[in-house]
Chain A
Amino acid sequence: MPAVAPPPTFSGYGLGLRREHYQDFLDAERPVAVDFVEVISENFMVDGGQPRHILRQVRQRHPVALHGVSLSIGSADGPRPDYLQRLRALVDEIDPLFVSDHLSWSRIGDFNSHDLLPLPYTTEALDIVCANIEVAQSALGRAILLENPSSYLHFPEQAMSEWEFIERMCARTGCGLLLDVNNIYVSAVNHGFDANDYLAGIPADRVLQIHLAGHSQGAELLIDTHDSAVAPAVWALYAAARARCGDVATMVERDAAIPPLPELLAELDTARRIGAKGTA
């Protein structure tokens, strides 16, 4: 395992900071009742201008988690050094709670799909992902968190389950796990596995943050759309996740059809109530 500082532990409830709510979060008279905010890293890995200015202001009021979508930790040819340099500069400025991305790949060679594409859970992919995590953690000077993906494909050559892959990945690299409960549910329905087997199989002590989001029914598969409220079945799975993982940071994600802030804060209150029961 490489010599990087372990991710910090933090408990509390947060929301994703989205453009539609910037003014709410910048209103000094009425602070938003969250314990932290999470931002999409790439939106702020820019040279200058208003986005960085807004993030600096929000950071003065709340702890911030950086959540990326383009690290491409599963690329066979490794993460891009220029991407890591930009992310490191943001990390150094913001001093985030967590730096996270997804257990997926987006880029190969010069092609960048800008989508979170699935990995086959093979020993070769595990070796590549672990090597890439070590490159990223070394470049960033800290341990990262990786989020379990929602997936719509199953590869015939898979040698292990997703949760076995994650357990080995965390053990080899020291990285943390950002557990997306909605993604577990979506993938369980799409691939026909038991979500409780997944929860039982992950390394609970490596779970440092939980995501909650909504999904939609596609033509044949459930789709992780982040455009609706958290579904009842996902709340039930969240309760089970909290019972297994303890008092870890939880946030609600909404990336499309974004409602007024009070609606999201009400969802966060639901998470608080479930969390209070689960850790009482």
Chain B
Amino acid sequence: MTLAQLQRDMQAFLASGSAASAARVSPLRAGLTVYQNNYRAQLVGCLEQTYPHLRTFMGAEAFHYAAVSHIGRRPPQAWTLDAYGAHFGLTLRELFPDNPDLHELAWIEWSLEAAFIAQDAAPLAASALAGADWDNTGLVFSPSLALAPLRTNAAAIWDALQAGEAAPEASMLEQGAGVAVWRRGFSTSLRVIAPDELAAFASASGPRGFSLLCASLAERLGAEEGIARAGALLAAWLASEMVTGLTTYEEVEQ
């Protein structure tokens, strides 16, 4: 047997428990069992570490069922074990399609994990806006910023569990919202945002983004209120250290 064949058989044994593959690797079942236990325990432990509040909210037994299902459906591929939780949300959607609270809570915990080690970028000082050509400028947001729509009270559930309190019952929000996760310095942040702010992030980061954002808000709210809303959003983003630079149309074209 070549090394490649042996390694493919070991993969099949670890990922699916294939008895035929195990028999080809080695007759020593006790040793194979040690490796299989290590493989599964390490992946379950990784998911537990990545999703502590989801595990509390679901309960240990349901979480373990989801973790074992995930390991069977999506064997690890990334160079680092820390990335294994990245697609756990997909497994939750398959296992619990009618529980958007679980999907959204998982998104929050994974996004916080990703933001913690995202690329460093210094926040833009308000003074850097002086002289900006607003007709031709878009905003560059922090590499750690992640955004998603929110249909449930998953953010409130996360807040309560993070504070060591009992989580509220899962419920649908009366009005849709959004959620932003990012890093300020070395601390991760989570904030529920209004639907128009969620849309504004996408508008503001494109070519000529800020002028397009002003135009769309002015069209919806009226000129005076629209411009004021755009200014308020920009001020809040700067104060929250979400903005790390400006980009002009020419730079994007190049």
Contacts and interface: CB of A to CB of B under 8 A. Distances in A.
Interface of A: 42-43, 45-53, 70, 74-77, 80, 82-83, 86, 105, 108-115, 117, 119-120, 122, 124-125, 128, 151-157, 190, 218-221, 223
Contacts, number: 117
A120 B119 contact: no
Nearest to A72: B79
Given A47-B143, A76-B4, A223-B34, 11 more contacts: A42-B80, A49-B117, A50-B186, A52-B120, A70-B80, A83-B79, A114-B81, A115-B39, A122-B3, A218-B34, A221-B31
Interface of B: 1-4, 6-8, 10-11, 14-15, 25-28, 30-32, 34-35, 38-39, 42-43, 75-82, 84, 116-121, 143, 183, 186
Given A48-B117, A115-B42, A219-B30, A80 B79 contact: yes
B77 A111 contact: yes
Contacts of B15: 111
Main secondary structure of the interface of A (DSSP, over half): loop
A111 B3 contact: no
Nearest to B11: A111
B222 to A, nearest CB: 41
Nearest to B8: A108
Contact of A47 (B4, B75, B118): B118
Given A111-B15, A114-B42, A223-B34, A82 B79 contact: yes
Contacts of B79: 42, 70, 80, 82-83, 86, 112
A105 B7 contact: yes
B211 to A, nearest CB: 31
Nearest to A50: B186
B76 A153 contact: no
8 shortest A-B CB distances, which residue pairs? A48-B120, A152-B31, A76-B4, A46-B117, A153-B31, A50-B186, A108-B7, A47-B119
